[in-house]
């Protein structure tokens, strides 16, 4: 599969490593331009290339957005038409600035991203695991210590594709509902956030929120 990754930091860079290892083609971008990503793509090997964010969005069948949430409006929305978008972002007001609709729980950061990328299908995933654990804790399917990641979204097919990618890099996926539901159920501060729990345990916690 072709995967665009926008944001080459802790989570974006780790996903680029895991997805190339799983055999996917990756095009990765940051805010400063592809020339600043030379060392990273050299390390990632021949399945990775450095591009602009517009090019990363155009390249991917799936496009990961992994940037500080407060900058989401900088994304070139027209380039995301028809794409499955993986939203790894979390809202941290001290980093992102205050968004009143989030502070008053009127909406979620993922719904705001979906509104901006209106012709894409956004799935929230990878927001609830520390990047070091994403890097280190992948396990083969069926392993007793395999942990699960909650995902949420409004499009069933998009969630199926994202769940399959998660499985390929060593984790189970657990459906936490729509963007509105899941966006609240696995955001910072919840019992699913940073849980590092098996699918059985995540499902148990989901039943109580
Ligand atoms: N760190 C974690 O363990 C963790 C876990 C789960 C979720 N998250 C969430 O995932 C997101 C990414 O976190 P991170 O820790 O990977 O961040 P990070 O290490 O600070 O990396 C952020 C990346 O985003 C890029 N970026 C910033 N603005 C951009 C823009 N407008 N267009 C394109 N690229 C842009 C930066 O590029 P430049 O350097 O060129 O500006 C950088 O490559 C955040 O929303 C975070 O809250 C983080």
12 CA closest ligand 1 atom index: 16
pTM above 0.95, yes or no: yes
Give tens-digit pLDDT for 114-171: 999 999 999 999 999 999 999 999 999 999 999 999 999 999 999 999 999 999 999 9
| CATH code for the part of the protein at 2-206 | 3.40.50.720
pLDDT given for residue 138 in this prediction: 98
Tell me the CA distances in angstroms from 188 to 39, 143, 152, one per residue in order. 32, 27, 15
User: 120 CA to middle of ligand 1, Å?
Assistant: 20
User: 9 CA to middle of ligand 1, Å?
Assistant: 5
User: 15 CA to middle of ligand 1, Å?
Assistant: 12
Structure tokens at 175: 């459906």
How distant is the alpha carbon of residue 22 from its chain centre? 16
Instruction: Give the domain ranges of the chain.
Output: 2-206
Instruction: For the chain, list residues with pLDDT below 50.
Output: none
pLDDT given for residue 86 in this prediction: 99
Q: Is 13 in the pocket of ligand 1 (CB under 6 A)?
A: no
Measured CA to CA, the distance from residue 197 to residue 180 in angstroms comes to 22
Q: Is 188 in the pocket of ligand 1 (CB under 6 A)?
A: no
Residue 24 CB-density burial (10 A; 0-12 exposed, 13-18 middle, 19+ buried) = buried
89 CA closest ligand 1 atom index: 45
3-state secondary structure 65-91: ECCCHHHHHHCCHHHHCCCEEEECCCC
Nearest to 110 by CA among 123, 93, 98, 101: 123
Hey, whose CA ends up nearest to atom 47 of ligand 1?
A: 90
User: 31 CA to middle of ligand 1, Å?
Assistant: 10
pLDDT given for residue 209 in this prediction: 86
Nearest to 152 by CA among 184, 177, 127, 131: 177
- Under 8 Å CB-to-CB from 42, ≥6 apart: which residues? none
132 CA closest ligand 1 atom index: 3
Per-position DSSP letters for 180-205, written without gaps between them:
HHHHHHTSTTSTTTT----HHHHHHH
User: 143 CA to middle of ligand 1, Å?
Assistant: 30
Q: Is 74 in the pocket of ligand 1 (CB under 6 A)?
A: yes
């Amino acid at each position: 599969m072709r995967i665009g990754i926008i944001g080459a930091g802790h989570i974006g860079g780790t996903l680029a490593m895991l997805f190339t290892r799983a055999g996917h083609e990756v095009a990765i971008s940051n805010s400063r331009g592809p020339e600043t990503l030379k060392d990273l793509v050299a390390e990632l090997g021949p399945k990775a290339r450095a591009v602009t964010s517009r090019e990363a969005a155009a390249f991917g069948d799936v496009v990961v957005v992994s940037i500080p949430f407060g900058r989401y409006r900088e994304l070139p929305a027209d380039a995301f038409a028809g794409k499955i978008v993986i939203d790894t972002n979390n809202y941290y007001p001290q980093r992102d600035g205050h968004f009143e609709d989030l502070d008053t729980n009127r909406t979620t950061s993922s719904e705001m991203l979906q509104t901006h990328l209106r012709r894409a299908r956004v799935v929230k995933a990878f927001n609830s695991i520390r990047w070091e654990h994403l890097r280190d804790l992948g396990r083969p399917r069926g392993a007793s210590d395999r942990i699960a990641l909650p995902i949420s979204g409004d499009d069933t097919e998009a969630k199926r594709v994202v769940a399959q990618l998660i499985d390929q890099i060593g984790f189970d996926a657990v459906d936490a509902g729509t963007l509105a539901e899941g966006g609240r159920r696995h955001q910072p501060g919840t019992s699913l956030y940073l849980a590092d729990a098996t699918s059985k345990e995540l499902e148990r916690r989901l039943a109580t929120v």
